[in-house]
Amino acid sequence: MLAPFLLRDAGYKYIFLSLDDVALTAKYEASFDLTRFFDIMESQGLQVASCAIEGTVHKALRPQMSNRTDYIGRYITMIELQATAFELKAWEFMYELIDTEYPSGWGLDIWFWDFCVTNGRIKELKMGVIDIMKVVHNPFRAPSRNSDTKDPRAIMNEQARHWADERGVKLTGSTYIQTLGYMFGNNSTRDV
């Protein structure tokens, strides 16, 4: 249903995905505002965006504050797929990464930057975390539904090797999240 050609033919500009264990509402201490989220995405020229994530294992994706009142977020090299928006062109590349032979999805967010930028599919990819909003991962404290017979990292590494070999693509698999710059509400940016 989310095939890029179907979305393009229907006239969509963005796709927003939210996992079923991510809270978007104030009831669970999230501060997500859909209209403002897309306004920021548009004003900052982001092709991929996420709110900051409370409850993620990646410290770099947790909410970060600034002493500047016009600070709104950061440009980064990885966004965890929790509650994420893609401009349609960026979604086409994420869709290419999906391999139904390995339905876990582990690693897609880690490989995305390499797949697009390092391999030359998108010359200047702008991904950002909007720190003035946050979503909450697993506020319901539900147990993981991922396979417990294999270590998640082993699943990701197996999927990466298979996928990269099959398509002849080099992936680093690095979980290091680099901050590329900072976003401000007046549409200005600042390098790190």
pLDDT of residue 34: 93
- pLDDT tens per residue, range 136-176: 998 766 555 554 566 766 776 777 777 778 777 776 666 67
Q: DSSP readout, 22-74? A: EE-SGGGT----HHHHHHHHHHTT-SEEEEEEET-S-GGGS----SSTTEEEE
The H-or-E segment that residue 9 falls in is: helix 4-9
| CATH hierarchy code of domain 4-139+151-180 | 3.90.550
pLDDT of residue 102: 64
| C-alpha to C-alpha distance for 54 and 40, rounded to whole angstroms | 20
- Can you give the residue ranges of every domain in the chain? 4-139+151-180
Question: What is the reported pTM?
Answer: 0.84
Q: Return the amino acid letter for 23.
A: A
Asked whether the predicted pLDDT for residue 50 surpasses 80, the reply is: yes
Yes or no: say if 30 and 82 are a contact pair by the CB < 8 Å rule.
no
Name every residue whose Cβ is closer than 8 Å to that of residue 166 and which is 6 or more positions away in sequence: none
**In the structure, what pLDDT confidence band is assigned to residue 104 with cuts at 50, 70 and 90?**
low
- pLDDT tens per residue, range 18-35: 988 899 999 999 999 999
- pLDDT tens per residue, range 52-66: 999 888 888 899 988
Name every residue whose Cβ is closer than 8 Å to that of residue 127 and which is 6 or more positions away in sequence: 46, 47, 48, 49, 75, 76, 77, 78, 79, 113
| C-alpha to C-alpha distance for 117 and 113, rounded to whole angstroms | 6
